[in-house]
Structure 1
Amino acid sequence: MAATPATKTATSAEPTEDVLVVRGLTRHYGGTHAVDNLDLRVPTGTFSAIVGPNGAGKTTALSMITGLLRPDAGEILVNGVDVWADPDRAKRTIGALPDRMRLFERLTGAQFLHYSGTLRGLSAATVRTRIADLAAAIGLTEALGRLVSDYSVGMRKKVALAAALIHSPRLLVLDEPFESVDPVSVDRLLTLLRNYVDHGGTVVLSSHGMELIERVCDHVSIIVSGTVLAQGTVAEVRGNGTLAEKFAELSSPTDPAEGLEWLHSFSD
């Protein structure tokens, strides 16, 4: 029988040394261990990445961290508050951009962001100001009056990021935030996120872009088969090589071309 997630609630929501602490996080789908006794710590005020091969459990882990998917076992503390024992309190400090975005297609971008802000308890005047500020920073001002259904994938990513930021969370959890986003917009978003981190926010993102992670992230965790195999600063994890080399070493220890010698002889 699956264990019940811990129910301890922290006594304070003041900033802590580690804004995110994960202990023994586990999630099974039948006989598949999507996340297997995962431990993770993310220091406050850092730009952190979670990387791993496809099917490693990254999205499942992030979904549990943000309160979207209940774990079979384990404890998740965000800013000292247990996500599953006190979800309302914990989620007030979290902004999330999930991998499979579910946006309101028949709202305009402005309406969607207004709904997101009021849902977080912000006043109408505050929401209007923040929508204008975020749209200018992200490059969405001209598209605010259009229906979300007419947005490209990249524009959907941007409006979802704005919705995740509108209540000024302490922790921002982003699952593949730059996928399908053009390079100029990526640089623009990174400038926004780095400014957010420089002023005390914390970003946790998943990405397959190793060069980008080496360039912008402070910390990185490599997950393989639902378990953290390496964790620390980018310099500590990559060692004497590159992060891509360390990732390949941990996630694919065997030669992927082994046994494919027949590809060297062509059928014609």
Structure 2
Amino acid sequence: MFGYGEGLSGAESPVLEAAKLTKVVDSERVALSSVDLVVRSGEIKGLIASNSFTVKTLFELILGLKSPDAGMIVSGGGAGLKAEQSPQTQFGFLPEEIHIPDRMSGLEYLRLMANLSGMNRGEALSQIASVTERLGIGATLGLKCGSLHIPERRLLALAGATIHSPELLLLSEPIKEMDVFAEGRVKDFLKSTADAGSAILITSREMGAIEKLAQDLVVFSESQVVYDGPMSLVRRFSGRNVLAVEIDGLHSHFESALEGPVADGILAFQFDGDRYVIRFDEAMFLTEMLRVILEAAEESGVILCGVSLQTEDLGETVRNILINAPVRERSQSSLPELRGEPKKELPAAKDTD
């Protein structure tokens, strides 16, 4: 498995631990195979899978809707549910499809969610005031839910899922169909919720949503975890600082220069048909990258025919993880090329139309 193992975000005690967790969906599909996962208080983890049922099944196991076929999953700091807790108070869940009774007002819905969590009237009113202010949905409280737009219903459902300050919050497509202003409110809301001690798991089909909201990333391929680590580590290799360079001259001389003293800041390179794709440290500015290329060209005696900046997105890097990181025996190993000396190679190049 790729990643640094446990404690990636400096978070605190575990609120969820899975060991060798396995769940078979049917005779042809395995949702989870020997999965080890630790989720700690204060973490915001994004979950990406190569199929549609892996994360769905994981959520169902966490919520107790299904039982594992093998392995174990423990919540509540390693000792199961605390005596004063029930699944309704320990977890919060936002499904992709929002189902709120149309005839209820926003306030009635939040009061219902508070009552289901066992909150008294004073606690409920205090929490309703807090979450509606933080999410900017006060205007929806007096409206019937059937009159709300889908993004407004999603924000109201998010408020309901967090009304009781759960230890673990499970979110499916939390910013689907929202504008940038609503996305910003959700991002700030989740950060403050995590800062208060809740752990958050987010899943989405859109890598952009995961990138906006999560601090850590878990990638599943063929029912197993192939990456569990900081989002910042993935961003480092996401193509943000990648130059495509075309030359005329001896390629061996140019490659030697790219590996030499002038190549400070180059993390990896490869020859891709008619050009070099060169990845630089994320901290470098474009002028610094161009200086390195010019010095390498001068040292090797080649002529630069073209230099352009590539702009791959983070999703491309995740796809490269899935393609280039075959599932191995369970371990806590990390990406050696990220922790040691950088290797002069890149993941498979993105296909272009």
CA distance in 1, matches of 2:153, 2:207: 23
Farther-moved stretch of structure 1 (172-181 vs 29-38) = 29-38
Matches within 5 A, 1:173-212: 173-212=170-209
Checking the alignment, whether the CA contact within 8 Å between 2:14 and 2:78 is kept in structure 1 is no
Of 132, 136, 156, 2:133 maps to 136
CA distance in 2, matches of 1:113, 1:235: 36
Deviations 1:121-155 (A, max 9, x none): 11112212222222222122111122222222212
CA distance in 1, matches of 2:58, 2:237: 29
**What residue in structure 1 maps to residue 316 of structure 2?**
245
What secondary structure does 2:155 align onto?
A: helix
| Distance change (3 Å), C-alpha of 1:118 and 1:172 | same
Checking the alignment, whether the CA contact within 8 Å between 2:316 and 2:350 is kept in structure 1 is no
**What residue in structure 2 maps to residue 23 of structure 1?**
19
- Scaled by the length of structure 1, the TM-score of the pair is 0.79
**What residue in structure 2 maps to residue 222 of structure 1?**
219
CA distance in 2, matches of 1:84, 1:199: 20
Of 64, 72, 87, 1:75 maps to 72
CA distance in 2, matches of 1:56, 1:225: 11
**What residue in structure 1 maps to residue 89 of structure 2?**
92
Checking the alignment, whether the CA contact within 8 Å between 2:237 and 2:317 is kept in structure 1 is no
| Distance change (3 Å), C-alpha of 1:152 and 1:191 | same
What secondary structure does 1:28 align onto?
A: strand
| Distance change (3 Å), C-alpha of 1:180 and 1:67 | farther
| Distance change (3 Å), C-alpha of 1:128 and 1:232 | same
Equivalent position amino acid for 2:16 in 1: L
Equivalent position amino acid for 2:183 in 1: V
Checking the alignment, whether the CA contact within 8 Å between 1:76 and 1:83 is kept in structure 2 is no
**What residue in structure 1 maps to residue 292 of structure 2?**
none
Checking the alignment, whether the CA contact within 8 Å between 1:109 and 1:159 is kept in structure 2 is yes
Q: CA RMSD in A?
A: 3.0
* C-alpha displacement of 1:49: 0.9
* C-alpha displacement of 1:54: 4.2
Instruction: State the aligned residue count.
Output: 245
* C-alpha displacement of 1:21: 1.0
Equivalent position amino acid for 1:248 in 2: R
* C-alpha displacement of 1:118: 0.9
**What residue in structure 2 maps to residue 5 of structure 1?**
none
| Distance change (3 Å), C-alpha of 1:215 and 1:256 | closer
CA distance in 2, matches of 1:189, 1:237: 23
Checking the alignment, whether the CA contact within 8 Å between 2:175 and 2:209 is kept in structure 1 is no
Give the % identical residues: 25
What secondary structure does 1:156 align onto?
A: helix
* C-alpha displacement of 1:177: 0.8
**What residue in structure 2 maps to residue 152 of structure 1?**
149
Residue ranges of structure 2 left out of the alignment (5+ in a row): 1-10, 240-313, 325-347
- Scaled by the length of structure 2, the TM-score of the pair is 0.61
What secondary structure does 1:92 align onto?
A: helix
Deviations 1:67-126 (A, max 9, x none): 233333332222325669999545422211123333333322111110110111111122
Of 35, 43, 46, 1:46 maps to 43
* C-alpha displacement of 1:216: 4.2
Checking the alignment, whether the CA contact within 8 Å between 1:81 and 1:89 is kept in structure 2 is no
Q: Between the two structures, name the one with larger relative contact order (CA 8 Å, sep ≥ 6).
A: 1
CA distance in 1, matches of 2:180, 2:131: 19
**What residue in structure 2 maps to residue 104 of structure 1?**
101
What secondary structure does 1:45 align onto?
A: coil
| Distance change (3 Å), C-alpha of 1:209 and 1:29 | closer
| Distance change (3 Å), C-alpha of 1:132 and 1:86 | closer
- Larger radius of gyration, structure 1 or 2? 2
Residue ranges of structure 1 left out of the alignment (5+ in a row): 1-14, 259-263
Checking the alignment, whether the CA contact within 8 Å between 1:78 and 1:90 is kept in structure 2 is no
What secondary structure does 1:125 align onto?
A: helix
Equivalent position amino acid for 1:38 in 2: V
**What residue in structure 1 maps to residue 257 of structure 2?**
none
